[in-house]
Amino acid sequence: MNEQNENAPVVVTDSDHPNLDPEQDVLSSAGLGLRREQCLTAEDVIARCRGAKALINQYAPITAEVLDALPELRLVVRYGVGVETVDIDAATRRGVWVANVPDYGTAEVADHTMALALALLRGVTSYDRSVRSGGWDYQVARPLRRLSALTFGVIGCGTIGLAVAARAAAFGMRVVGADVIPGRNLAGSPITQVDLDELLAVSDIISVHATMARDAAPLIGAQAMEAMRPSAMLVNTARGGLIDTAALVAALDMGQLGGAALDVLETEPATPSVRDALARHPRVVLSPHAAWYSEESYVQLKSEVAREAVRVLAGQPPRCPVNQPKLDRRAEATSTEVHR
């Protein structure tokens, strides 16, 4: 692949993936070129992505200034579910679609969530560390509870939250859920719907699956942690910013929580100070934003962002839009590029 094709209509603003082969396969089949950049700032995107008609975006900020500087742009599609890197209101006003890939790793995230939860609930990491250091004592992880005696709380009852709830129920746990989207229909799920205050008060383990708006305050801060049971455990495979890390460390230090399992952090990669503050607690489990990953989900994600570019540049709406843009501003764009 020629990653320096200056005339390519599809540009990857940034990516930590080792290659773009799945994206290239999809785009080549549609006659579209692809260019890869590694932008860190909005200024980088403006300077390096001129002429782009579709941006595939991972972490680089897509601001109003970026959108104004790229007048041919018709789509920003995010690697993954979250779209907090994109100014969606600005894109909507400027006639630019914003899309994501919400379903590429649902099973993986739900499975990883349960793996983290079970590691806490069954003391797996405590036992592992003890045995590795020469111990052989079941009491190092006390107290452990029978899973069927526990209440599993799900915050955010979307697709992933529902998948996690089904898995928790399969282990015999009572499942309660508080949704951040009022009125969502949970009929047919194992979830008993409660408000957030009740969920915090009754849950033995709380798993966070909410979305997060740009610059939003943490959903779970010091006050929420004070409302939890002292033995409660917290799992986050959604967005790091949903949990106030400093408040979490303080709660763990003071014995206000029974443990935490985190796949995501407010700042990634983890800073040494945050990593060390969390890692010193025997009932903290950490993974490197890997809940989404399997070989299958990896290829699906990369292929689908490219398919969204093909759809939009052919004059169709994306499969998974997160906005409804005012298309009149860029309505003069045609689909001729897909035939080049």
Segments making up each domain of the chain, as ranges: 10-103+295-339, 106-286
Three-state secondary structure call for residue 271: coil
Give 16-59 pLDDT, tens digit per residue: 999 999 999 999 999 999 999 999 999 999 999 999 999 999 99
Q: What's the pLDDT at 335?
A: 44
Dihedral sign of CA atoms 15, 16, 21, 25 in order:
negative
Task: For residue 82, name the pLDDT band (cuts at 50, 70, 90).
Answer: confident
Q: What's the pLDDT at 229?
A: 97
**Which of 106-110, 181-185, 245-249, 294-298 is the least confident region?**
181-185
Residue 291 has pLDDT above 70, yes or no: yes
What is the 3-class SS of 307-330, one letter each residue?
HHHHHHHCCCCCCCECCCCCHHHH
What are the structure tokens assigned to 163, written together?
């998948």
Three-state secondary structure call for residue 243: strand
Which position has the token pair 């595939």? 56
Which position has the token pair 């379903």? 103
Residue 336 has pLDDT above 60, yes or no: no
Which position has the token pair 């250091």? 133
Percentage with pLDDT > 90 across the chain: 88
CB atoms within 10 A of CB 266: 17
**Rounded to whole angstroms, how far apart are CA atoms 89 and 95?**
10
Active site residues: 239, 268, 289
- Cβ atoms 60, 40 nearer than 8 A: yes
pTM strictly above 0.85:
yes
CATH code at 10-103+295-339: 3.40.50.720
- Cβ atoms 81, 320 nearer than 8 A: no
What are the structure tokens assigned to 199, written together?
């969920």
Q: What's the pLDDT at 257?
A: 96
In sequence order, the 6+-apart residues with CB closer than 8 A to the CB of 273 are: none
What is each CA distance from 86 to 63, 68, 75, 191, 209, in whole angstroms? 6, 13, 11, 32, 20
Burial of 298 (0-12, 13-18, 19+ CB in 10 A): middle
The span from the first CA to the last CA of the chain, in angstroms, equals: 17
* Phi, psi dihedral angles at 7 (to 5 degrees): -100, 5
Assess whether the region 10-103+295-339 and the region 106-286 belong to the same CATH fold: yes
**Rounded to whole angstroms, how far apart are CA atoms 140 and 255?**
16
- Cβ atoms 91, 68 nearer than 8 A: no
Burial of 209 (0-12, 13-18, 19+ CB in 10 A): buried
Residue 87 has pLDDT above 80, yes or no: yes
* CATH among 3.40.50.720, 1.10.540.10, 1.20.120.80, 3.90.1150.10 for 106-286: 3.40.50.720
- Cβ atoms 66, 50 nearer than 8 A: no
Which is it for strands 75-78 and 54-57: parallel, antiparallel or unpaired? parallel
Give 200-256 pLDDT, tens digit per residue: 999 999 999 998 876 789 999 999 999 999 999 999 999 999 999 999 999 999 999
Q: How many helices (H) and strands (E) are present in the chain, helices listed first? A: 12, 12
